[in-house]
Chains A and B, each alone.
Chain A
Amino acid sequence: MSSSSGLTFKLHPLVIVNISDHHTRSKAQTGRAGRPPRVYGCVLGVQTGRTVEIFNSFELRYDPVEELLDRAFLETKQEQYKKVFPKYDVLGWYSTGSDVQDSDMLIHKALMDINESPVYVLLNPTINHAQKDLPISIFESELHVIDEVPSLIFVNASYTIETVEAERISVDHVAHIKPSDGSSAATQLAAHLTGMHSAIKMLNSRIRVLYHHLASIQKGDAEYEHSLLRQISSLVRRLPAIDSPKFQDDFLMEYNDTLLMTYLATITKCSSTMNELVDKFNTAYDKQNRRGGRTTFI
């Protein structure tokens, strides 16, 4: 069921990183035995009109035996954060898990005295490689009539990710270091080149789409749209940035240098294959058992 409140939610990556970090830490602390425990915390942000922007979060102490949130702790934390970030309010809370549970409603209701309509951010820590989206869902509470009993239930809300420049740097950093632990120069180069390759591939496919569209306009299959053509024309005129003969010379020289490197690389690869081939051929067909390298001529 999706939310009908009409609020737009914007989530900052810092929150996601915080939640994931909290979860990983507690998982590491409990060790490998058993399922990782659920973690809980508050989310902070600003609500202006219909837009709810979630900037930050902090952790809460939860007693699993008593099933009680530590209210005193929450209040001290809230005061401290208010001093540093006066603009931020407690907008809701977060937790980890694969789906909403019944006990969550209790916590939700408990937070209602701080914020009349809190949001619930849920992170699914199970890694699913097939899934392309973020495993994060945002829930709101709504009063629905079910079996003639009005009750509060969670409804799913859509959200977008919003980044500030500073956050972009950290996200980039995390995204690139992650594939290998102790990344050597080779893997970093491979990661860099893969990123470049996918970026160029995407550029290529987008340009191809534009090209096909223009071709179909020319043929008469699509309609002649002036504003679109103006945009395409301004895009095309962006490159080349400079066009002087000196630039051409330098550019071509660098281009040829890179080509020379590629040429050298391909020749090296070829020579190495050839070397292996010759070794195999010698072991297979040579009657003498020659284990040495080249024999000198004189």
Chain B
Amino acid sequence: MAPKSARVTRNPELIPGVRKISRSKMYHKRGLWAIKAKNGGKFPHHDKAPAATPVVEKPPKFYPADDIKKPLSNKRKPKPTKLRASIIPGTVLILLAGRFKGKRVVFLKQLSSGLLLVTGPYKINGVPLRRVNQAYVIGTSTKVDISGVNVEKFDDKYFAKQVEKKKKKGESEFFEAEKQDKNALPTEKKDDQKAVDAPLLKAIEAVADLKAYLGARFTLKDGMKPHELMF
């Protein structure tokens, strides 16, 4: 369906309280005379539809002693943060905080929580598939060709912490078992990383110096003024 364009008023207000067209002219303009003529001199009148007989409700047998307050209804639906115009899939981002601060990284997509899905690629700079907040990122104008990458399967659930089964508190077992579980990265995650990075690496190696660029960290040097730099 064609979108409804904003309705133009037929009788604009010239000054507050003074409209452009008089009452009689408006009557003519609205075509009320034509409607009346069609209906034989009278304005068409529809009788009210017979009201449905109200269902008789019996009064409740039991009233609670105290009034329970109903909490106010909250219909707010959170939506993902608005993505900056400079950040599109394939953009090289500079991470500004966290373990990988200064690293230049490739942007893949925005997740439903609003966080950005990002990858090093891992082979180039050690940044795995990771979520990153848009606020802690500089978007550069360098773009990598991301068309060969399939990021459909990644969402926030993929990055949720693994829930461990509760163990009995035997002291020696406690420390050893915990260590083992934490260090092992499941092989699926490693495979996912490789699957995402393979086409990216090809695209990156096609551009001169891009690999070294992504491997290097961003630093501010003497004389660099961030507010004057073009990224």
- Co-assembled chains A and B: no
Q: Which residues of A contact B (CB under 8 A)?
A: none
Q: Which residues of B contact A (CB under 8 A)?
A: none
